[in-house]
Amino acid sequence: MADLDILLREYGQFEDRLRTAMTGMCAVHCCVCTRVCCREELCRETFESPFLRLLCQKYPPSAEYDSRNGWLTKTGCALSIGRAPVCYHFLCSEIMISRPTPLDGYMLEVLAALVNHVGKKALGRRHLVEILNSNDLTRVKLSRFKRKLVQAQTALDIIVDYFDHGTLDVGNISKLSQIRPFPSDKSVFDMMKSNSI
Tell me the C-alpha distance between 150 and 74, whole Å: 34
In DSSP terms, 126 is beta-bridged to 123
10 Å Cβ neighbour count for 167?
A: 11
- The model carries a pTM of 0.88
Rg of the chain, C-alpha, whole Å:
17
Q: Report the pLDDT value the prediction gives residue 195, as an integer from 0 to 100.
A: 54
Per-residue pLDDT tens digits of the chain, which is 197 residues long: 458 898 999 999 999 999 999 988 888 888 787 787 888 988 999 999 999 999 999 999 999 999 999 999 988 899 999 999 999 998 888 888 889 888 999 999 999 999 999 999 999 999 999 999 999 999 998 899 999 999 999 999 999 999 999 888 888 998 999 999 988 765 555 555 555 45
CB 6 within 8 A of CB 142: yes
Q: Which of 54, 48, 32 is nearest to 137 (CA)?
A: 54
For residue 72, which of 40, 47, 100, 95 has the smallest C-alpha distance?
A: 40
Structure confidence at residue 188 (pLDDT): 57
Sign of CA dihedral 80, 81, 83, 85: positive
Q: What is the pLDDT of residue 1?
A: 46
